[in-house]
Structure 1
Amino acid sequence: METIRLNTGIELPIIGSGTNTFGKENRDYMGKINGDTTEIETAITAGYRHFDTAISYRNESVVASGIAKSGIPRSKFFITSKLPGKPEYTSNEAAVQKGVEESLRTLKTDYIDLFLIHHPWNNPEEITSVWKVLEKYTDKGVLKAIGVSNFNEEQLKHLLDHSRIKPAVNQIESHPGLWNDDIIAYSLENNIVPEAWGPLTRVSPEAKKILTSIGEEYGKTWAQIILRYQLDRGVVVIPKSHNEERQKQNLDLFDFELTEEQKNKIAQL
């Protein structure tokens, strides 16, 4: 697996697995946690070592169990979790600490590779205060890197202006229905790695037809073309699939290269 070096110096696998419906009844985001680790296990067998979860997903324990069942050392995995932008996790230092400690306990680990503020809220000063607590955990090595999710340029700039440790990652929505070019460019300009959640969602029939046509030249699916395009422009991807074969396909991106003409066509979708 190829990696990218974050501004903290650690290596982030450029393809990870989303998990927000893993280990839940009916594969429903709001479904009851059933503890099923099947998708984690098949992903690990396929070669995934980068998993993205969050306190709000309620399934950090499922990710932890799947990793434990693999028998592969924790050090071989890159785990991301996220702090909700809710008062019970943000109102003061103790609330932030509660969130971090909760994740550590549920993930059954003494460190987290990447910890994100899950989403911004309308209180820049409080966001800065939360960030300062995360910086302390980074100083101690408990959080190896910290970042944000769903921050726009203004929100990211405020944090950059008021932080001691620069965000390592900005995880944002990016797919053919919304490439989000501007915030991706701004993140890259500031040495912050953009990471796409939901990279295979909101693909119109027209877009899928164009992507499938491009894929036929390489023996690749429309989904693989999307993911390759994102990687080519410096965006880490965290596709999610419950299907073992598609999990494998989402990793199989390194034996072809898109032409500039193809990339320009994809950018217009």
Structure 2
Amino acid sequence: MTTSPTVVLNNGIEIPQLGYGVYQIAPEDVRGATLAAFEAGYRHIDTAAAYGNEVGVGEAVRSSGLPRDEIFITTKLRNADQGYESGLAAFETSRRALGVEVVDLYLIHWPYVLHDRYVDTWRALEKLYAEGAVRAIGVSNFLEPHLDRVGDEGTVVPAVNQFEIHPSFQQSALAATSIERGIAVEAYSPLGQAKDVDDPTVRAIATAHGKTPAQAILRWHVQQGFIVIPKTVTPHRVAENIDIFDFELSTAEMQQISGLEAGLRTSGDPATFDFSQS
């Protein structure tokens, strides 16, 4: 069994650098998938209210036999629940669904800018953090203008900004500005929804290390200091994705993968994304 190193967030909390994402895993399947991830060594589970599977994640946590303090749970507030009072109520719904007293990391899922409630939502998260209901708070899919407003109008610096990063869509400037502000970068869709694993450069680098293309890409992420949350329900890939801490990419190999930037976004644009997630 492989375990992940941790990243220290700006409030001193440690988060496993490689986590298990449960996006698009059906509610009836997520308990088993999460237990399999625990068996493979994962201790960081990333879910969201919008995924509809928080209950199954909570069931897996309770039936795993692992101490609660060894498991790091991230969940996210869906767009339709943004606002101060509604944000607080949404958190209670997620907490009950997960069956935990304290959530390790709570994120605003999208800025949802056309409705302009993310600053009020952030104040709700600050209240939860002050009360100890969450160990850390952060954002997801926030661009620099959204980080500016939270910084100017809030009192707590987000611990994490989770957004789409993979070799063909790197958002390097957003990663750099997040890090400059003391915000850890967390990559979702780290393999470009599996499209980037077919690149010949990636395949050649993986072969040179006796690893899979997915492992080479995930290693590229962690060597940049990013937190990364691959998602798969295929058992051998669950195990392979965490087995990336026994090799290292050279500077040249890192640069080769970084040279694959192609502007190929696979998710919504945070500047215009207007889906309620309900």
- The TM-score normalised by the length of structure 2 is 0.88
The aligned counterpart of 1:44 is: 38
Q: How far apart, in 1, do the equivalents of 2:197 and 2:67 lie?
A: 44
Higher relative contact order (CA 8 A, sep 6+): 2
Q: Taking structure 1 as reference, are residues 245 and 98 closer, same or farther at Cα in structure 2, changes over 3 Å only?
A: same
Q: How far apart, in 1, do the equivalents of 2:71 and 2:15 lie?
A: 10
Q: How far apart, in 2, do the equivalents of 1:100 and 1:36 lie?
A: 20
- Identify which of 78, 90, 97 aligns with 2:82: 90
Q: Measure how far apart 1:137 and its partner are.
A: 0.8
Unaligned runs of 5+ in 1: 25-32
Q: Measure how far apart 1:176 and its partner are.
A: 2.2
Give yes or no for the alignment of 1:10 onto 2:13.
yes
Q: Taking structure 1 as reference, are residues 19 and 206 closer, same or farther at Cα in structure 2, changes over 3 Å only?
A: closer
Q: Measure how far apart 1:46 and its partner are.
A: 0.3
Q: Read off the aligned partner of 1:226 and give its amino acid letter.
A: I
- Identify which of 177, 193, 197 aligns with 2:184: 193
- Identify which of 158, 161, 174 aligns with 1:167: 158
Q: How far apart, in 2, do the equivalents of 1:11 and 1:133 lie?
A: 23
Q: Measure how far apart 1:85 and its partner are.
A: 1.9
Give yes or no for the alignment of 1:226 onto 2:217.
yes
Whether the aligned pair in 1 keeps the contact of 2:167 and 2:196 (CA below 8 Å) is no
Whether the aligned pair in 2 keeps the contact of 1:41 and 1:66 (CA below 8 Å) is yes
Spell out, residue by residue over 1:32-65, the C-alpha distance to the aligned partner (whole angstroms, 9 max, x if none): x325522111100000010000000010001111
- Identify which of 158, 163, 173 aligns with 2:149: 158
- Identify which of 238, 242, 246 aligns with 1:247: 238
The aligned counterpart of 1:213 is: 204
Q: Measure how far apart 1:8 and its partner are.
A: 1.3
Whether the aligned pair in 1 keeps the contact of 2:108 and 2:139 (CA below 8 Å) is yes
Q: Taking structure 1 as reference, are residues 194 and 205 closer, same or farther at Cα in structure 2, changes over 3 Å only?
A: closer
Q: Taking structure 1 as reference, are residues 165 and 47 closer, same or farther at Cα in structure 2, changes over 3 Å only?
A: same
Q: How far apart, in 2, do the equivalents of 1:16 and 1:230 lie?
A: 12
The aligned counterpart of 1:27 is: none
The aligned counterpart of 2:140 is: 149
- Identify which of 119, 123, 127 aligns with 1:132: 123
- Identify which of 102, 107, 115 aligns with 2:98: 107
Q: Read off the aligned partner of 1:217 and give its amino acid letter.
A: A
Q: How far apart, in 1, do the equivalents of 2:132 and 2:193 lie?
A: 38
Q: How far apart, in 1, do the equivalents of 2:10 and 2:41 lie?
A: 25
Whether the aligned pair in 2 keeps the contact of 1:177 and 1:202 (CA below 8 Å) is no
Whether the aligned pair in 2 keeps the contact of 1:6 and 1:12 (CA below 8 Å) is yes
The aligned counterpart of 1:261 is: 252
Q: How far apart, in 2, do the equivalents of 1:122 and 1:153 lie?
A: 13
Q: How far apart, in 1, do the equivalents of 2:146 and 2:53 lie?
A: 28
SS at match of 1:215: helix
Q: How far apart, in 1, do the equivalents of 2:132 and 2:115 lie?
A: 26
Whether the aligned pair in 1 keeps the contact of 2:191 and 2:197 (CA below 8 Å) is no
Q: How far apart, in 2, do the equivalents of 1:126 and 1:184 lie?
A: 24
Q: How far apart, in 2, do the equivalents of 1:44 and 1:132 lie?
A: 33
Q: Taking structure 1 as reference, are residues 113 and 184 closer, same or farther at Cα in structure 2, changes over 3 Å only?
A: same
SS at match of 1:37: helix
Q: Taking structure 1 as reference, are residues 248 and 94 closer, same or farther at Cα in structure 2, changes over 3 Å only?
A: same
Aligned residues: 257
SS at match of 1:146: strand
